[in-house]
């Protein structure tokens, strides 16, 4: 079992997972120029990421920090893709593979990942206890997380079909 803040088991952005890659895609960008980055703008335009904000997760910046950290680490899914771009700091996304095993994805400055709708996942900080991330959405943001079990949602069924087709 992967515990919070355990060392990275897998580095996915820019790499892959030897056939176990659960996410749709990942990019490595220059986070120092995110405000005027043509590559980021190209991705946003191609994917219709029309809404974004920036969240800083650390004790001094995030209200209800301890509660939020626990919520982020609860295994859950969303009905929309989850797109995160790390602008500073680092942390881990844990996702489930086809056999329902955890895969740990280390995310650091410059990494952008898209977790597909319906994938069970969770997030935690590493030992530095700090990350600043851009959150991107197609249209208005939807923040609802559905804790496991949530297999009855159409998004979950579609994700499982996608996994079956990639076998």
Beta strands in 7-165 (DSSP E): 25-28, 51-57, 76-77, 82-96, 102-108, 111-115, 121-125, 131-137, 146-147
Query: Residue 152 annotated as binding?
Result: no
Query: Residue 121 annotated as binding?
Result: yes
Residues 6+ apart with CB under 8 A from 64: none
Count, residues in the chain: 167
Q: Which two tokens stand for residue 31?
A: 């986070």
**Rounded distance between C-alpha atoms, residue 22 and residue 46, angstroms:** 21
- Enumerate helices (H) and strands (E) in the chain, giving the number of each: 3, 9
**Rounded distance between C-alpha atoms, residue 167 and residue 162, angstroms:** 9
Q: Are 60 and 131 in contact (CB under 8 A)?
A: no
Binding residues for Ni(2+): 76, 78, 82, 121
Binding residues: 76, 78, 82, 121
User: Binding site for Fe(2+): what residues are annotated?
Assistant: 76, 78, 82, 121
């Amino acid at each position: 079992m992967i515990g919070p803040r355990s060392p990275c088991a897998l580095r996915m952005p820019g790499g892959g997972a030897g056939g176990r890659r659960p996410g749709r895609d990942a990019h490595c960008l220059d986070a120092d120029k995110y405000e005027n980055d043509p590559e980021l703008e190209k991705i946003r335009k191609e994917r219709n990421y029309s809404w974004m904000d920036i969240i800083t997760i650390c004790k001094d910046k995030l209200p209800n920090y301890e509660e939020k950290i626990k919520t982020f680490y609860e295994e859950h899914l969303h009905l929309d893709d989850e797109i995160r771009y790390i602008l500073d700091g680092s942390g881990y996304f844990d996702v489930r593979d086809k056999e329902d095993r955890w895969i740990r994805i280390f995310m650091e400055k410059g990494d952008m990942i898209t977790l597909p709708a319906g994938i069970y996942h969770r997030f935690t900080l590493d030992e530095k206890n700090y990350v600043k991330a851009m959150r991107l959405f197609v249209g208005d943001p939807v923040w609802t997380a559905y804790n496991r079990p949530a297999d009855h949602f159409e998004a979950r069924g579609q994700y499982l079909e996608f996994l079956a087709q990639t076998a």
